[in-house]
C-alpha cells in the first residue's frame, strides 16, 4: 500500500494526518481541506449553541418579577439584536426559528415593548448586578448624547436636539449614558441608558433627568466611584447636589464660571491663563483613525465655589490641547506632584475612550434606524440595547468558562485590517456571523422570584 502523501510538511499538518489516517493511505489536498472545514463548522455550531444558552440564562436572571411573557420577549429581543445587529422589530423577528408568522411576532413585540414598567425593571436589576464592579476609585463617566431622526414625522414627542457629530440642530431625542471604567484598564461596564424628549409631558428639565440618573446609579454604587462629566456638567444645580451628597467628581469647565481664589472672585479662564505650568508631557490621541500628538503643560489652583464656600475644590489647568487651556474642576486633592496631576488629567480624558462605546452602540446596532412610534417603546428599546452591550462587555468577557468562546468569536469576525483596539466591533460582528450561520431556537429561562415562606403563628 502507498505511503501517506503530505501536502505541506508542517508539524500541525502531520498531527492532522495521523488523526485522520492512522493507517497508510493517500490523502488529497481537497479531501484534507474538506475535512478541516467540516470540523470547523461543527465547532462553530457548538459555539452558537453555547451562546444561545448564555443569552437565555443572562436574560432570565435579569427579568425576575417581570412574568413569563415579558421574560420571553426580553430574551428574544436580546438574541434578535445580537444576531440582526438592528433594533428594527421585523429584523429582530426574522432571527427566531419558529413557525409563527413575522407579522404576529412583530405585533407581540409591539405589545410587550409598550409596557411602562419594562425600562425601570431592567435598569434596576442590571444596576444591582453591575454595582459590584464599581470600586472606590472607579470612574463613572456620564455622557449625554442624541439620536437623530431627520425624516421622522409621526414619532411621539419628537423634538429638536443638537447633533453632537455635525454640531447642527435636528429632530430626534437626547440620551444619557453612564459607563464605569478603571483608569488603567480597557474594560467598560455599562450601567445606565435612557432616552428623553423635552416635549414629553413628564419631562422636567435636562438637569432633572441627569440628577435622576446620578441618583439611580448612586443608590447601588453608594459613595463608590468618581463622576466624570464633560463641559455639559458645568452647572450650579449639579454642583450643589453632588457636594450635598458628598460625591466625588471631575468636571470640565467652560471658562465663564466664577470661583473664589485667595478670597478673590475670578473666572476660571482668567485663572487658568495666569496659572503657572509645573510639568510638561507628551500624549497621543487616536481620532478618526489617525494619531495626533500633543505637547501639554499642566498646573493647578485651589479654589472654592461662591455658592458652596465651605467645600475646597481644585482646578487642574492643562495647556496644549486646544487654543484655550483645558480646565478641570475636581473634589480630588491635588498637590505639586507630577504623578498626582497626570493621573487627574488621564482620569478625565478616559472619557474620550468611553465615547467610543456610544459610537459602537449607534453604528453596530443601527440605533438611529429605530422605527417604533410610541415614546414608551423608544425608552424601553434603550434598556434592551443596554442589556446587549452589557452581555458583550461583561458577561461574555468576564466569565472564565467563556474565554475560549470569546476567542472563537473574534476569529469568526473576518476583517480586512484585523481587530481594532476597541474590540467590541469585532466581537459584535463575530457573534452575529456565528449565530446567523448556525441558526437555532431560543428557549427562554424563567426564574421565579424568591418568596419568604416562613409560617406565621397567630396567638389570640
Residue 226 zone, left/alpha/beta (φ > 0; ψ -120 to 50; rest)? beta
Q: How far is CA 30 from CA 22, 198, 313, 454, in A?
A: 19, 63, 71, 68
DSSP conformational letter for 132: G
Alpha helix ranges (H) inside 85-229: 89-94, 102-113, 117-130, 206-221
**C-alpha torsion 251→254→255→258, nearest 10:** -70
- Cell for 285? 490621541
Which domains are present in the chain? Answer: 117-367 (3.90.350.10)
d(CA 393, CA 402): 12
Listed residue (89, 84, 60, 56) closest to 381, CA to CA: 89
Environment class of 438 (CB within 10 Å of its CB; exposed 0-12, middle 13-18, buried 19+): middle
DSSP assignment of 284-306: EEEETTEEEEEEEEEEEEEEEET
Q: How far is CA 69 from CA 63, 81, 111, 118, in A?
A: 10, 18, 10, 12
pLDDT in tens, the chain (460 residues): 343 333 333 333 333 333 333 333 333 445 445 554 454 444 778 888 888 888 999 988 888 778 889 999 999 999 999 999 999 999 999 998 888 899 999 999 999 999 999 999 999 999 999 999 999 999 999 999 999 998 888 999 999 998 766 678 889 999 999 999 999 888 899 999 999 999 999 898 999 999 999 999 999 999 899 999 999 999 999 999 999 999 999 999 999 999 999 889 999 999 999 999 999 988 887 766 677 888 899 999 999 999 988 999 999 999 988 889 999 999 999 999 999 999 999 999 999 888 888 888 998 899 989 999 999 999 999 999 999 999 988 887 554 344 445 555 566 665 544 444 457 787 888 888 888 888 888 877 666 554 445 555 555 4
Q: For residue 228, what are the β-bridge partners?
A: 141, 250
> Vertex 361, ends 360 and 366: CA angle to 5°?
105
> Vertex 146, ends 145 and 151: CA angle to 5°?
170
Strand locations in 279-388 (E) = 279-287, 290-305, 308-319, 326-330
Q: At what angle do helices 29-61 and 68-84 cross, to 10 degrees?
A: 140
- Cell for 316? 487642574
Amino acid at each position: 500500500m502507498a505511503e501517506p502523501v503530505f501536502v505541506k510538511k508542517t508539524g500541525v499538518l502531520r498531527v492532522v494526518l495521523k488523526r485522520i489516517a492512522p493507517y497508510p493511505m493517500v490523502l488529497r489536498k481537497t479531501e484534507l481541506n474538506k475535512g478541516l472545514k467540516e470540523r470547523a463548522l461543527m465547532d462553530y455550531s457548538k459555539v452558537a449553541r453555547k451562546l444561545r444558552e448564555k443569552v437565555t440564562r443572562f436574560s432570565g436572571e435579569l427579568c425576575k418579577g417581570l412574568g413569563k411573557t415579558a421574560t420571553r420577549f426580553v430574551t428574544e429581543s436580546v438574541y434578535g439584536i445580537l444576531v440582526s445587529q438592528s433594533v428594527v422589530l421585523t429584523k429582530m423577528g426574522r432571527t427566531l426559528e419558529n413557525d409563527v408568522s413575522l407579522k404576529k411576532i412583530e405585533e407581540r413585540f409591539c405589545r410587550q415593548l409598550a409596557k411602562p414598567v419594562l425600562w425601570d425593571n431592567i435598569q434596576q436589576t442590571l444596576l444591582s448586578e453591575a454595582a459590584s464592579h464599581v470600586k472606590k476609585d472607579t470612574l463613572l463617566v456620564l455622557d449625554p448624547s442624541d439620536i437623530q431622526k431627520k425624516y421622522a414625522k409621526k414619532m411621539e414627542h419628537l423634538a429638536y436636539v443638537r447633533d453632537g457629530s455635525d454640531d447642527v440642530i435636528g429632530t430626534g431625542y437626547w440620551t444619557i449614558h453612564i459607563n464605569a471604567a478603571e483608569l488603567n484598564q480597557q474594560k467598560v461596564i455599562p450601567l445606565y441608558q435612557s432616552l428623553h424628549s423635552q416635549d414629553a409631558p413628564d419631562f422636567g428639565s435636562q438637569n432633572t433627568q441627569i440628577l435622576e440618573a446620578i441618583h439611580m446609579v448612586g443608590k447601588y454604587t453608594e459613595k463608590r466611584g468618581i463622576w466624570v462629566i464633560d463641559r455639559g456638567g458645568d452647572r450650579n444645580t449639579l454642583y450643589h447636589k453632588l457636594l450635598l451628597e458628598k460625591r466625588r467628581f471631575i468636571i470640565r469647565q467652560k471658562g465663564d464660571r466664577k470661583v473664589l481664589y485667595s478670597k478673590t472672585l475670578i473666572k476660571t479662564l482668567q485663572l487658568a491663563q495666569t496659572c503657572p505650568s509645573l510639568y510638561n508631557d507628551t500624549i497621543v490621541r487616536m481620532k478618526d483613525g489617525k494619531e495626533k500628538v500633543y505637547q501639554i503643560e499642566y498646573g493647578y489652583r485651589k479654589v472654592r465655589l461662591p455658592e458652596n464656600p465651605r467645600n475646597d475644590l481644585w482646578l487642574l489647568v492643562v495647556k496644549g490641547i486646544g487654543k484655550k487651556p483645558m480646565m478641570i474642576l475636581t473634589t480630588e486633592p491635588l498637590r505639586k506632584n507630577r504623578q498626582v496631576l497626570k493621573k487627574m488629567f488621564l482620569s478625565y480624558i478616559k472619557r474620550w475612550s468611553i465615547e467610543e462605546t456610544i459610537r459602537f452602540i449607534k453604528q453596530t446596532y443601527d440605533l438611529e434606524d429605530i422605527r417604533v412610534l410610541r415614546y414608551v417603546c423608544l425608552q424601553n428599546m434603550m434598556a434592551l440595547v443596554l442589556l446587549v452591550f452589557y452581555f458583550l462587555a461583561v458577561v461574555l468577557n468576564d466569565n472564565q468558562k467563556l474565554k475560549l468562546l470569546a476567542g472563537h468569536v473574534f476569529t469568526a469576525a473576518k476583517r480586512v485590517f484585523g481587530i481594532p483596539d476597541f474590540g467590541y466591533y469585532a466581537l459584535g460582528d463575530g457573534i452575529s456571523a456565528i449565530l446567523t450561520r448556525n441558526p437555532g431556537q431560543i428557549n427562554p429561562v424563567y426564574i421565579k422570584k424568591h418568596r419568604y415562606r416562613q409560617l406565621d403563628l397567630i396567638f389570640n
